[in-house]
Chain A
């Protein structure tokens, strides 16, 4: 049972007092003596990034085409579809975690895949959480593209696909913002990843499904404030860095 191994892992982890100076980890001297296990932080960062980036990438490939199709076509019930997407943005993440956990559990439809407390399950719930903001913000960006630009692309001999590509290009800043918002939601998520991932490390202190957020939650509860603060700083820097990259990419344009 993964449950047992998770518990064992947590017990083993909190029992092992192997401490490493932060300077060893970061490669430069520091005034703080922080309690770190070898590779602990980097494995957590890796799991956080891996899960969030894969989920956001999959969600982008899923959401942006939907947003473009929704933005370019008119059909009865479009307003209803939009309000469903907007509702999804505010959907409680803990419930998403619960539903995904049930889906991959023994009783659930995906039970045979044995995904309880795995990164794949975390990706699934992050995908569900990131999709509404990415779709809704992309849709707003696509709808904001001047109708005249679409008409021009068509009049110049563009096919439907060409028109859609022009619209994506014109809406690129908005779509970049949408992806960022989705990434922001994914990387900062606590409740659902805790439920489906289980916050597990292996016996040697390397993260299996422990992310920055769930680690911070655990360290803070255990009174390891320094570790929690460092993890928190790493999380903030990560979010800032991804923001900067996307803004820069957007500035250069996708011409």
Chain B
């Protein structure tokens, strides 16, 4: 579904990714593992269609995102959701945060009317908003202000916010690296739920145990390229690439 083919990306003369290929299909979780600073975030930025590769193509259902005009690219971009390492919630209620993606997809006339109505007395909560908050177990916090949430809850709202627009692909960039085990478990369950809904999930993580727990496939990102990609169990049990083996055994230290 979402596919990067031979993509390269440099920043300030330094090559971060070199002719890398990766794809994700509907209803699977692909974990991208690799040491910190190896370019996982850069790869996710390419996959989210927010950054153009220097070389190579990123396609969604066969459409090259950088060969079409901006309007079409926006339409493609809106089928790909993303959750960042930091929740970065808007200074608004939980419901307003989760609803944001739905709101920007509506025509301006409707948005203005809603804005006026919310000044007068509130709009109620959309079904999609309640459903997504249910996935992360936060339906009771709908009317709370984002600032009053704990870090873990904020990240769960951030997940619900990305899920609310029902994307085809969900990209998660180190979504649990700042979280405690309980909130981590909630996010991992939510990934499962997203997969069950037929969403293709890509999660970048430096936590190999998390990759083992959640992923159907694992891609190992080392030195700007994918050193190995395959079914989770196979990659962890019998890595074919010697660098992958050393990384998994903890010998390859960066």
Contact = CB atoms under 8 A, between A and B. Distances in A.
Interface stretch (B11-19, B74-82, B242-250): B74-82
A180 B146 CA distance: 27
Interface stretch (B96-104, B218-226, B230-238): B96-104
Contacts of A170: 90-91
B162 A155 contact: yes
A166 B162 CA distance: 16
A255 B50 contact: no
Q: Of residues A149, A155, A159, A170, which shows the largest number of chain B Cβ atoms within 10 Å of its Cβ?
A: A155
A187 to B, nearest CB: 28
Given A170-B90, A255-B92, A153 B100 contact: yes
Contacts, number: 57
Contacts of A154: 50
A170 B88 CA distance: 11
A113 interface: no
Nearest to A147: B88
A170 B104 CA distance: 16
Nearest to A157: B78
A95 interface: no
A156 B100 contact: yes
Contacts of A33: none
Given A152-B158, A255-B96, A255-B118, A157 B88 contact: no
A156 B104 contact: yes
A156 B91 contact: no
A59 B51 CA distance: 35
A204 interface: no
Contacts of B84: 148, 151-152, 155
A156 B88 contact: no
Contacts of B105: 157
A148 B74 CA distance: 19
Contacts of B88: 146, 148-149, 151-152
A159 B104 contact: yes
Contacts of A158: 100, 104
Given A149-B88, A149-B90, A152-B158, A157 B96 contact: no
A169 interface: yes
A114 interface: no
B77 A157 contact: yes
Q: Of residues B88, B93, B101, B158, which shows the largest number of chain A Cβ atoms within 10 Å of its Cβ?
A: B88
A157 B158 contact: no
Interface in A238-255: 253, 255
A169 B91 contact: yes
Interface in A126-159: 146, 148-149, 151-159
Given A155-B48, A156-B162, A159-B74, A169 B90 contact: yes
Nearest to A163: B104
B106 to A, nearest CB: 11
Contacts of B92: 169, 253, 255
Interface string A176-210: 00000000000000000000000000000000000
Contacts of A153: 90, 100, 104
Contact of B50 (A155, A166, A253): A155
Contacts of A159: 74, 104
Contacts of B74: 157, 159
B161 interface: yes
| Top-7 shortest CB links A-B | A148-B88, A155-B82, A157-B78, A156-B101, A152-B88, A162-B104, A158-B104
Interface of A: 146, 148-149, 151-159, 162, 166, 169-170, 253, 255
21 contacts: A148-B88, A149-B90, A151-B84, A151-B88, A152-B88, A152-B89, A152-B158, A155-B50, A155-B84, A156-B81, A157-B74, A157-B101, A157-B104, A158-B104, A159-B74, A169-B90, A170-B91, A253-B91, A253-B92, A255-B92, A255-B96
Given A152-B89, A158-B104, 9 more contacts: A146-B88, A152-B88, A152-B90, A155-B84, A157-B104, A157-B105, A169-B90, A170-B90, A255-B96
